[in-house]
């Protein structure tokens, strides 16, 4: 394959194609292995820029924004209404911001941070308006915590990856002002027991939240993993409720109204409610139940016999993960997995279990225990406890079938 | 072990929480000194004074929510017959003729014997009638949110309640009558009472 030649101006670091013709004295010749983005600018494909020997030519010069290696194809899986995080491709516990899952009800709005305001009113001493700049002046807080959509369970096929099964969970470091700070600023009245949080998107998304959560640990977030929130995550400000179902962490936050009863919005009645035993419908299921999943080996990976480090993620919306167990014999026996520090409150935790696979077909799975003593249930246990008409907050143990040829397949389970 | 405790207290005479104790270890040629600073952040003011007071006009422009007790409902009224016409024009393409079927889901309850479970709709799943007004006004039609007048929303609410067999043909929906409509599914709704622990529920 022929490699294209690009010129780099030694003084400015700018790529120049015109120089290729003239070969002037100020320009040094170099074959540049440019970052993917630059290759696109220059109309070259990434593969054209792969050198035979990277030690024999000068690489890309410093740039304004880094890019993912062109060798890495790590992407979200979008549908019309959501986009799922590639859990099987992650290391550690932080989700890169551009791979954070998305779920929105009327698309991603474009909001000018210089015009955006947050209004707090209702049962308060002083109704107030805060600009984004105002919010940033208050004492700030940062916290690493997961965010999960409560409708985060899919099954039905063997060819399903962790991303397909439960890719609507991600983890970031969120930065913002504590809602309790703003509650004090406006003087929340003692009879306020709920507040309505409202977004500035085309769905004008609303949820009713108990005021207690606002005092406990709610954050009005403007930062995510060291930079401003991504538009998909609520730019320029969102509510962030650690451990609670994702929909309650209202994005593009424009208004908070303090009241003395829930509003019974469409999103806490028609949606985000689940059928339970006796034909009843459970609502305001805020806490995310503890869950874990093995992300390696998992579909679509294919493994060889011998040593395998089983890896995965575990989390609980009710506090810390205290234990993850792994079974390599279809749930007959369980072994304690190692938890990677830091084990944080309401956060994804990385677990590992070193295993020697003899090559025989088996099933591997993990189950988490959280600090309340809750043990992640099986699919069957959940259906038995709630009936077949359940939906949201479905957190069963995920079993992977390990085939003799090393393929790893989801084990679909059916209600009936 | 020799320990040198340094306690620095910032007393600003205001209120609020105590910050955690920060312990810093200083390696010393002769001995390790553990110096603990007790940071007592009494310096947080009751109010920072950032932001500005919201005017009632500003609040009224945004305050579009409706509660089950009817708080927030505007003046005006609606009737099923008038709503039927608007629905056919502005909603049926996505929610089906008569609110049944359609690419974005039914809004009217039917009992289709070919289906294992009935679709969750206003008639069999929505616990409060006020939510219909609130939701349509804030988010529908999906392609043109915020385009409906209050009168149109009242008419559509009346139509959907009637089509679901909850109010009769002649019923008038307004700020007084809507909160009194009892939805069939209301008695089914229970708040989550789980608190963690070993129980699977």
> Could you tell me the residue ranges of all domains in chain A?
2-53, 77-272, 291-410
A212 touches chain B (CB under 8 A): no
Each residue's pLDDT tens digit, B37-61: 565 656 789 899 999 999 999 999 9
More confident residue, A4 or A393: A393
B1 reaches A (C-beta below 8 A): no
Closest CA of chain A from B110, distance in Å = 17
| Mean pLDDT of all residues in A336-350 | 98
Is A119 close to B69, i.e. CB distance below 8 A? no
Q: How many CA atoms lie within 13 Å of B92's alpha carbon, on the beta-carbon side?
A: 10
Q: Which of B122, B189, B198 sits opposite A281 (nearest CB)?
A: B189
% chain B with pLDDT above 90: 72
Residues 173-192 of B with CB under 8 A from A: 185, 188-192
All residues of chain A having their beta carbon less than 8 Å from the beta carbon of residue B197 are 372-374
Q: Is the peptide bond before A301 cis (omega within 30 degrees of 0)?
A: no
Residue B43's pLDDT is 73
Which of B62, B63, B200 is nearest residue A385 as measured by Cβ atoms? B200
Taking residue B176's Cβ as centre, other Cβ atoms within 10 Å add up to 11
> Average pLDDT of A196-204?
98
Q: Summarize the confidence of residues B149-164 as an average pLDDT.
A: 98
Task: Please give the pLDDT value at position B41.
Answer: 59
Q: What is the mean pLDDT of chain A?
A: 91
Q: What's the whole-number mean pLDDT along residues A200-214?
A: 98
Instruction: Note whether A301 and A339 are within 8 A (CB).
Output: no
Quick one: tokens of A183?
């509650």
pLDDT surpassing 70 at residue A204: yes
Cα distance between residue B138 and residue B130, in whole Å: 13
Record: contact A280-B189, CB cut-off 8 A = yes
Segment A323-344 shows an average pLDDT of 98
Cβ atoms within 10 Å, residue A237: 29
- Residue A416: predicted pLDDT: 53
Asked if B127's CB is within 8 angstroms of A184's CB, the reply is no
Token pair recorded at residue A298: 């998992």
Q: Which residue has the higher pLDDT, B117 or B83?
A: B83
Q: Which of A126, A138, A375 sits opposite B198 (nearest CB)?
A: A375
The whole-number average pLDDT for the span A368-387 is 97
- How far is A410 from chain B, CA to nearest CA, in Å? 23
What is the pLDDT of chain B when averaged over all its residues?
Answer: 85
Query: What average pLDDT does the segment B136-158 reach?
Result: 98
Over the range B91-104, which residues count as b (16 or more CB within 10 Å of their CB) and which as e? bbeebbebbbebee
Residue A282 contacts B, CB cutoff 8 Å: yes
Model pLDDT, residue A47? 83
Nearest CA in chain B to A196: B65
Bridge partners, A367 (sequence order): A325
Q: Which residues from A are below 8 Å from B47, CB to CB?
A: 184-185
Q: Residue B44 has what pLDDT?
A: 82
> CATH code for A291-410?
2.60.40.650
Chain region(s) in chain B for CATH 1.10.760.10: 65-188
CB distance from B120 to chain A under 8 Å? yes
CATH of A77-272, one of 3.90.1150.10, 3.40.50.300, 3.90.420.10, 3.30.420.40: 3.90.420.10
Across the interface, whether the CB atoms of B63 and A255 are under 8 A apart is answered yes
A7-21, B60-74, B120-134: range with lowest mean pLDDT: A7-21
Query: For residue B182, what is the DSSP state?
Result: B
**A28, pLDDT greater than 50:** no
| CB pairs < 8 Å spanning A and B | 147
Q: Does A385 touch chain B (CB under 8 A)?
A: yes
- From CA A283, how far away is CA B188, in angstroms rounded? 10
What's the mean pLDDT in A38-50? 69
| Triad B193, B195, B196: Cα angle to 5° | 135
* Rounded CA separation A50/A61 (Å): 15
Burial of B200 (0-12, 13-18, 19+ CB in 10 A): middle
pLDDT score at A220: 98
B15: closest CA of chain A, how far (Å): 12
Neighbouring C-beta atoms of residue B193, cutoff 10 Å: 9
- Does B65-188 carry CATH code 1.10.760.10? yes
If contacts are CB pairs under 8 Å, which of residues 25-64 in chain A contact chain B? Answer: none
B50–chain A nearest CA distance, Å? 6
For A123-151, write each residue's pLDDT tens digit.
Answer: 999 999 999 999 999 999 999 999 999 99
Helix residue spans in A47-200 (DSSP H): 132-137, 162-166, 179-186
Q: Test B191 with A284 for CB contact under 8 angstroms.
A: yes
How distant is the Cα of B93 from the closest Cα of chain A, in angstroms?
Answer: 18
Is the CB of A81 inside 8 Å of chain B's CB atoms?
no
Kind plus residue range of the DSSP H or E element containing B62: helix B56-62
Return all residues near A8 (Cβ < 8 A) that are at least 6 apart. Answer: A14, A15, A16, A27, A28, A30, A32, A58, A61
CA distance A248 to A258: 15
* Segment 149-168 of chain B within 8 Å of chain A by CB: none
Q: Is B130 on the interface with A (CB under 8 A)?
A: yes
Tell me whether residues B145 and A131 touch, CB distance under 8 A: no
CA-based nearest residue in chain A for residue B53: A128
Residues A333-343: what's their mean pLDDT? 98
Name the closest residue on chain A to residue B189, using Cα atoms.
A281
> What is residue B112's predicted lDDT score, i.e. its pLDDT?
66
At B10-27, the pLDDT tens digits run: 333 333 444 444 444 444
Confidence of residue B118 (pLDDT cuts 50, 70, 90): confident
pLDDT in tens, A151-188: 999 999 999 999 999 999 999 999 999 999 999 999 99
């Amino acid at each position: 394959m022929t490699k294209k030649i690009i010129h780099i101006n030694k003084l400015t670091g700018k790529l120049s194609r015109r120089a290729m013709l003239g070969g002037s004295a100020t320009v040094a010749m170099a074959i540049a292995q440019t970052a993917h983005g630059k290759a696109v600018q220059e109309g070259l494909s990434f593969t054209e820029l792969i050198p035979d020997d990277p030690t024999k030519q000068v690489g890309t010069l410093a740039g304004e924004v880094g890019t993912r290696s062109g060798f890495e194809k790590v992407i979200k899986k979008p549908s019309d209404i959501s986009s799922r995080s590639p859990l099987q491709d992650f290391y550690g516990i932080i989700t890169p911001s551009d791979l954070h899952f998305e779920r929105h009800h009327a698309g991603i709005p474009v909001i000018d941070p210089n015009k955006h305001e947050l209004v707090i009113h209702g049962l308060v001493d002083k109704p107030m308006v805060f600009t984004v700049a105002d919010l940033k002046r208050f004492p700030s807080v940062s916290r690493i915590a997961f965010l999960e959509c409560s409708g985060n369970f899919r099954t039905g096929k063997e060819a399903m990856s962790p991303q397909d099964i439960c890719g609507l969970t991600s983890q970031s470091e969120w930065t913002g002002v504590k809602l309790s700070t703003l509650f004090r600023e406006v003087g929340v009245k003692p009879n306020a027991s709920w507040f309505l949080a409202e977004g500035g998107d085309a769905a004008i998304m609303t949820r009713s939240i108990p005021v207690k959560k606002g005092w406990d640990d709610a954050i009005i977030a403007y930062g995510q993993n060291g930079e401003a929130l991504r538009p998909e995550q609520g730019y320029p400000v969102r509510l962030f409720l650690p451990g609670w179902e994702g929909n309650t962490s209202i994005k593009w936050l424009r208004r908070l109204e303090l009241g003395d009863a829930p509003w019974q919005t469409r999103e806490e009645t028609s949606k985000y409610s689940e059928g339970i035993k006796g034909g009843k419908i459970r609502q305001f299921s805020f806490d995310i139940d503890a869950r874990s999943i093995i992300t390696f080996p998992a579909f679509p990976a294919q493994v060889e016999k011998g040593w395998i480090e089983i890896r995965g993620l575990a989390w609980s919306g009710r506090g810390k993960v205290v234990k993850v167990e792994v079974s390599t014999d279809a749930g007959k026996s369980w072994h304690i997995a190692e938890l990677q520090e830091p084990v944080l409150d309401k956060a994804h935790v990385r677990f590992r279990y070193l295993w020697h696979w003899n090559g025989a077909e088996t099933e591997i799975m993990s189950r988490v225990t959280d600090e309340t003593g809750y043990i992640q249930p099986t699919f069957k246990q959940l259906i038995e406890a709630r009936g077949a008409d359940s939906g949201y907050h479905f957190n069963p143990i995920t079993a992977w079938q390990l085939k003799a040829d090393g393929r790893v397949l989801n084990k679909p389970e059916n209600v009936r | 072990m020799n320990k040198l405790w340094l306690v620095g207290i910032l007393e600003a005479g205001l209120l609020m929480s105590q910050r955690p104790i920060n312990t810093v270890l200083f390696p010393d040629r002769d001995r390790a000194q553990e110096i603990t600073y007790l940071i007592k952040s009494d310096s947080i003011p009751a109010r920072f004074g950032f932001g500005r007071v919201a005017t009632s006009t500003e609040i009224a422009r945004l305050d579009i929510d409706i509660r089950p007790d009817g708080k927030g409902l505007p003046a005006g009224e609606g009737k099923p017959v008038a709503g039927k016409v608007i629905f056919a024009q502005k909603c049926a393409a996505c929610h089906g003729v008569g609110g049944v079927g359609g690419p974005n889901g039914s809004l009217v309850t039917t009992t289709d014997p070919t289906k294992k479970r009935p679709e969750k709709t206003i008639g069999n799943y929505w616990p409060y009638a006020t939510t219909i007004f609130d939701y349509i006004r804030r988010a529908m039609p999906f392609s043109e949110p915020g385009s409906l007048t209050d009168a149109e929303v009242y008419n559509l609410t009346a139509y959907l309640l009637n089509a679901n067999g909850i109010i009769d043909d002649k019923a008038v929906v307004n700020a007084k009558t809507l909160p009194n409509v009892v939805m069939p599914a209301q008695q089914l709704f229970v708040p989550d009472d789980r608190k963690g622990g070993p129980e699977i529920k």
